[in-house]
Copies of this chain bind each other. A is one copy, B any other.
Amino acid sequence: MKVIELKASVTASNDRDADELRREMREKGVLLVNLMSAPGAGKTTLLSRLIRDMDGTRIAVMEADIESAVDAEHIEALGAQAIQVHTDGMCHMDAGMTARAWHAMDPDAIDLAVLENVGNLICPAEYDTGAGCNIMILSVPEGDDKPLKYPLMFSRCDALVISKLDALPYFGFDVETCAARARKLNPEIRVFPLSARTGEGMAEFEAWLLDRLDAWRRRP
């Protein structure tokens, strides 16, 4: 498994780098998904489930972490292409770092490339990575008040996955309240309550992902 060590990009123009990466990925017909959440919300568990469920779609994963390679090893063991990115202590990925990770992969064997961003609800929301789709996960144990506290993240995402739905009986979390708070910040946001463990809600989320991939490839 490849591990690459990255430092913050030298270029000052992150937005230009992001647009350039999006153009390049559209030419390849690959949709880049930027997956963000707090630590432990279940990014790797969700990805593992998607890889198992969506067997007609070639999913590859760029795992961004400050240290360790446990997540990339886990993804690779499922038979998917995976690369571990170490961020040199950085709390987020920028477009230049994402492009370097992307260029270390085999683009012809990928439909959906997922950047598993550093576990952080704040800083990653401030950087356009060049993704064609931004998705965040909020897990039930974290609480339904998080849109009030981390508004930028909820504002920037195309979809909110509410994960660990099977833990709902155990925690005081109101899905409708949380969804309403997210929509107040971002009326267009799609909300997918699901459990990657039991499979509840996965089909709707996977169908939406396939629609996004299809739309990405059809757009001129």
Interface residues of A (CB under 8 A from B): 38-40, 65-68, 70, 89, 91, 118-123, 139, 141-143, 145-146, 148-152, 164, 167, 170-171
Query: If the complex has contacts A91-B123, A120-B121, A141-B164, are A149 and B67 also in contact, measured as CB distance less than 8 A?
Result: yes
Q: Which are the 10 A-B pairs with shortest beta-carbon distances?
A: A40-B142, A141-B141, A68-B148, A91-B122, A38-B39, A38-B38, A40-B143, A39-B121, A68-B149, A91-B123
Minimum CB–CB distance from A1 to chain B (whole Å) comes to: 16
Chain B residues with CB under 8 Å of A141's CB are: 40, 139, 141, 164, 167
Report yes or no: B146 in contact with A70, Cβ–Cβ below 8 A: no
Chain B residues with CB under 8 Å of A170's CB are: 167, 170
Minimum CB–CB distance from A186 to chain B (whole Å) comes to: 14
Report yes or no: A152 in contact with B89, Cβ–Cβ below 8 A: yes
Report yes or no: A119 in contact with B121, Cβ–Cβ below 8 A: yes
Report yes or no: B66 in contact with A150, Cβ–Cβ below 8 A: yes
Q: Which residue of B lies closest to A89 (CB)?
A: B152
Chain B residues with CB under 8 Å of A148's CB are: 67-68, 70
Chain B residues with CB under 8 Å of A39's CB are: 38, 121, 142, 146, 149-150
Chain B residues with CB under 8 Å of A68's CB are: 145, 148-149
The CA of A54 and the CA of B152, in the complex, are separated in Å by: 36
Q: Which residue of B lies closest to A126 (CB)?
A: B89
Minimum CB–CB distance from A216 to chain B (whole Å) comes to: 30
The CA of A149 and the CA of B84, in the complex, are separated in Å by: 12
Report yes or no: A40 in contact with B91, Cβ–Cβ below 8 A: no
Report yes or no: B164 in contact with A66, Cβ–Cβ below 8 A: no
Q: Which residue of B lies closest to A67 (CB)?
A: B151
